[in-house]
Structure 1
Amino acid sequence: MAEKKTKGKKTGIGLALWLLAALLILIIFLVNQDRIAGNLKATGFFNKTGLKTPEFVEKAEVKSASVSEKNEVAPIETIEIDLNGIGSHTEESEPELPAENIIPKNETAKKQQEVSALEKQEELPAAPKKTEKEASVRKEISVSTPPKDSTMKLKLYFMSINSDGSVSRKEVTREMKKSDSPLVDAVNALIKGPIVAEENSGCRSLVSENTRLIGASVKNGVATLNFSGDFEFNRYGIEGLRGQLQQIVFTATAFPTVENVQFLVDGEKKEYLGSEGVWIGTPLNRNSF
C-alpha cells in the first residue's frame, strides 16, 4: 500500500513538472511570438519542411538591423541600362543659318585680330613671386593635410572561439580607404581575415580558404554576392559554413540599403551550400541565424 502511494506521489510530481515546463515554454513563446514568427518566416522553415506556412507566420514582420548597427556609407545600387537603342540613331545634320547670320571669312579674321590687340592692352602686371620660404610652407601644408572624406569606417563581423569551444560573432569597426564599392571592400576584408589588432582581440574569419568574390550588386534591399567554387568547402565542416554565411550576412546588412543577401556560387543559384547542406536557396538575413 505504501509503495502504491509512493509511486502515485512520484507520478504526480512528474506530471506537475511536465505541466510547469509546458507552461514556461508557452509563456516564452507568447512573449517572443513576433520574434519567433519573424525568424520562421525569414528562414523559410515551413517551405523547407514541405509544411503549410501558418497565417501568423506569413503575416509576421521580419526585423532588420537597428540604426546603430548600420554603416554611414551605402553601396551603389545596380542600375539597369537599356542597350537596345544604343547605336541605332542617326546623326542629324546641323540646321542651316539664315544668310544674314553668315560672316565672311575675311571679316572673321579681322575681328579676331582686333580682339587680340585689345587683350594685349588690358594685360595685368604679373603677380609677385613667392619667396622660397613661403613656397615650402605652402607645399608642406598641402602634403600634410589629408583630403576630406578620404576614409570610411565599416562594420565587419568576425567569429571568436570561446574557452568552452563554442563560436560567437564579434563586431569590429575598421577604418578603410574610401571607395565607390564599400560592400566589395568589406566582403574582401572578411576573406582576407582580421588585422593584427583584431586578431589579438580574439577575432578570426571562418570564410573558406582561397574564396574569391566574383561579383556583387544591390537591388531592392537584396545584395547578390557571387563567390568562387572554393566558397562551398570549409575545413571546419557545417559550423564553418554557417559561420562564414553569418559573417557575410551581418557585414553586408550593416549597410543601410541592404536587408538580405542572396548567395551565388560561380554564378549559379543553389539551394544548399556544400555537402553538409546549409540552406542558401533564398536570400538570408540576420534573423536566419
Structure 2
Amino acid sequence: MQKKNKSENKKKTTNKASGIGFALWVVAALFILILFILNQNIIANNLKATGFFNKTGLKTPEFVEKAEEPETIQAERKNEVEPIGPVEIDLNSTVEKTTRTASPVKAQNETAKKQQQETIEVAKEKETAPKTEKAKAETRTEKKETVVKKEVSVATQSTKTMKLKLFFMTINSNGTVARKESVREMKKSDSPLVDAIHAVIAGPNATEEKAGCRTLVSNGTKLIGASVKNGIATLNFSGEFEFNEYGIEGLRGQLQQIVYTATAFPTVEGVQFLVDGEKKEYLGQEGVWIGTPLGRNSF
C-alpha cells in the first residue's frame, strides 16, 4: 500500500514538473515571437544584407526581399551636399574640368602680375597729372586694390573640402562579404557625385584598407557620363563594368557599392545603369538585373 502511494505521489510530482516546464516553454516561445515581430524589419535586413538564403541555397522569402532599411539608418547615410543637376556630364572633356580646377597659386600669380602692371600705370598718371588729379588717382588705386582682394578671396575658396560617404566591401572572419561605409574628406567641386563614384572605382585609400575596405568594381572600369533627374542617377560605365573576375558575387558587390554611394546624396533614390551608353536588362553572363533603376532595397 505504501509503495502504491509513493508511486502515485511520484507520478503527480513528475506531471506537475512537466506542466511547469511546458508552461515555461510556451512563455519563452511567446516572448521570442514578440521580439521577432518588433524587430522583424531589422532581422529581415540583416538576412538580406548577408545573403543568408542565397548562400544556403534556399529561396529568399518575400518579406526579406521587400524589407526596407530603417529611416534612421538611411538618414545617417545621406551626404549633406547635392550631387549634380539634371545636366549630362561629359567626362571626356578635360578642358572644362581643367578650367574649373585651376590652381589657386596660378590665380594669385596672375593677380599679382596684374596688380604690378596697374601700379606702374598709376605711377605714370601721378607724374603727368596735375595736383588736383592726385585725389582721383588715389581713389582709383583703392578701388583696384579692393578688386584684387576679392579675386584672391575667390581663389582661396576653391581650396575648400567636403566630406563624402563612400561604400566599399569587406570580408568578415566567417567568409561572408558585407558593405562597409567610409567617410572621406575630398576637394569640393561642382559634381560631388562624379567624384564619389570615381573614388569608389579607384578603391580604398591606405586608411580605409587598414579598416578592411576593398572594392569589387571590375578592373579598368571608367565612368563615361552621369546625370540626375527626378531622383534617379543615370550612370554610364565603360564595357569593363559588365564583367567581374569574382563572378556573380563580384557583380552584385560592385552594384551595391555604386548604388549605396549614389543614394547617399539626398536627392538620389535609385541608379539606372548604362554600359557604353546602352541600357541593358542584365549585367554579365550570370545575369544580374539592371534593366530598371536599382535602389538600396534591391539588395
Instruction: Give the aligned partner of residue 130 of structure 1.
Output: none
Counterpart pick for 1:254 among 252, 256, 264: 264
Alignment of 1:45-84 (within 5 A): 66-79=74-87
Counterpart pick for 2:227 among 199, 212, 217: 217
* 1:281–1:194 Cα change, 3 Å: same
Check if 1:228 corresponds to 2:238: yes
Tell me, in whole angstroms, the C-alpha distance in 2 between the residues paired with 1:171 and 1:162: 14
Instruction: Give the aligned partner of residue 167 of structure 2.
Output: 157
Shift of 1:147: 3.1
Check if 1:203 corresponds to 2:213: yes
1:111-153, CA deviations, whole angstroms, 9 ceiling, x for partnerless residues? Answer: xxxxxxxx966423576xxxxxxxxxxxxxx89x953771111
The alignment's TM-score, normalised by the length of structure 1, stands at: 0.59
- Worse-matched range after superposition: 277-286 or 70-79: 70-79
Which secondary structure does the structure 1 equivalent of 2:201 belong to?
helix
Which secondary structure does the structure 2 equivalent of 1:246 belong to?
helix
- Worse-matched range after superposition: 67-76 or 25-34: 25-34
Shift of 1:26: 11
Which secondary structure does the structure 1 equivalent of 2:157 belong to?
coil
Are the aligned partners of 1:227 and 1:265 in contact in 2 as well (CA < 8 Å)? yes
Gaps of 5+ in 2: 1-27, 49-61, 89-128, 139-151
Instruction: Give the aligned partner of residue 123 of structure 1.
Output: 133
Instruction: Give the aligned partner of residue 147 of structure 1.
Output: 157
* 1:149–1:74 Cα change, 3 Å: farther
1:152-186, CA deviations, whole angstroms, 9 ceiling, x for partnerless residues? Answer: 11000000111221111111111111111111110
Which secondary structure does the structure 2 equivalent of 1:124 belong to?
helix
Which secondary structure does the structure 1 equivalent of 2:134 belong to?
coil
Number of residue equivalences: 207
Percent of pairs with identical residues: 65
Shift of 1:278: 0.8
The residue type paired with residue 66 of structure 1 is Q
Tell me, in whole angstroms, the C-alpha distance in 2 between the residues paired with 1:257 and 1:213: 20
Are the aligned partners of 1:221 and 1:259 in contact in 2 as well (CA < 8 Å)? yes
Instruction: Give the aligned partner of residue 15 of structure 1.
Output: none
Are the aligned partners of 1:63 and 1:287 in contact in 2 as well (CA < 8 Å)? no
Aligned Cα root-mean-square deviation (Å): 4.2
1:13-47, CA deviations, whole angstroms, 9 ceiling, x for partnerless residues? Answer: xxxxxxx99xx8999579647997xxx9xxxxxxx
* 1:61–1:33 Cα change, 3 Å: closer
Check if 1:263 corresponds to 2:273: yes
Shift of 1:67: 2.6
Tell me, in whole angstroms, the C-alpha distance in 1 between the residues paired with 2:289 and 2:239: 16
* 1:28–1:251 Cα change, 3 Å: same
The alignment's TM-score, normalised by the length of structure 2, stands at: 0.57
Shift of 1:72: 1.4
* 1:216–1:120 Cα change, 3 Å: farther
1:188-230, CA deviations, whole angstroms, 9 ceiling, x for partnerless residues? Answer: 1111111111111111000000001111000000000010111
